[in-house]
Amino acid sequence: MDWRKGRGRLGPFKPLLGNWKAEASSEMGPLVCRRAFQPMLGDAYVRLDVSWAFSGKAKPYQEFCLFGVRPDKTLGFWSFTIDGKQSQGWLSEAPDIHPEALCFEADMPAGRARQVYWPSESGAGFDWAVESRTKKGWNRFVLHHYEATDS
């Protein structure tokens, strides 16, 4: 996988553009998570559509997210989920995970959280994690490995 960033403020998303799929286990059973990143509105934003399909559940959990430039000229995101939750955050760093990681932090009702994308060690696809901030550092509670897919 080519993890080189593109040009411009949204350049960090170049390696993620396209369709991705992860298969993982969870407390709710096996799941298939799909992520589709696409530029939109004249490349002013990157749209992310996420679908979490849990085994035995008829309806997937869905998220719609926009990444773009915030009023303070920094890169940020705005996320909306099927259960009515919303969050927004800012570009951050995660050198503890990978030097080229793409990281976003947000203040959530339960505290600070971050989501991080980085190139997989296998060279195929990328890894994604969600972590919460604790007094001792970051606590990981979700980790997925994504590979490219046609849909």
Q: Which of 151, 145, 143 is nearest to 126 (CA)?
A: 145
Overall domain count for the chain: 1
Residue 6 within a domain: no
Q: Which of 65, 59, 72 is nearest to 31 (CA)?
A: 59
Which tokens go with 131? 């972590």
Residue 85 within a domain: yes
Rounded to 5 degrees, φ, ψ at 13 are -85, -10
Between CA 143 and CA 126 the distance in angstroms is 11
40-76 pLDDT, tens digit per residue, is 999 999 999 999 999 888 799 999 999 999 999 999 9
pTM: 0.94
pLDDT of residue 151: 77
99-149 pLDDT, tens digit per residue, is 999 999 999 999 999 999 999 998 889 999 999 999 999 999 999 999 999
Can you give the CATH number for the domain in which 129 is found?
2.40.128.20
Residue 38 within a domain: yes
Residue recorded with tokens 């934003």: 45
Residue 5 within a domain: no
pLDDT of residue 53: 95
Q: Is 12 helix (H, G, I), strand (E, B) or coil?
A: helix
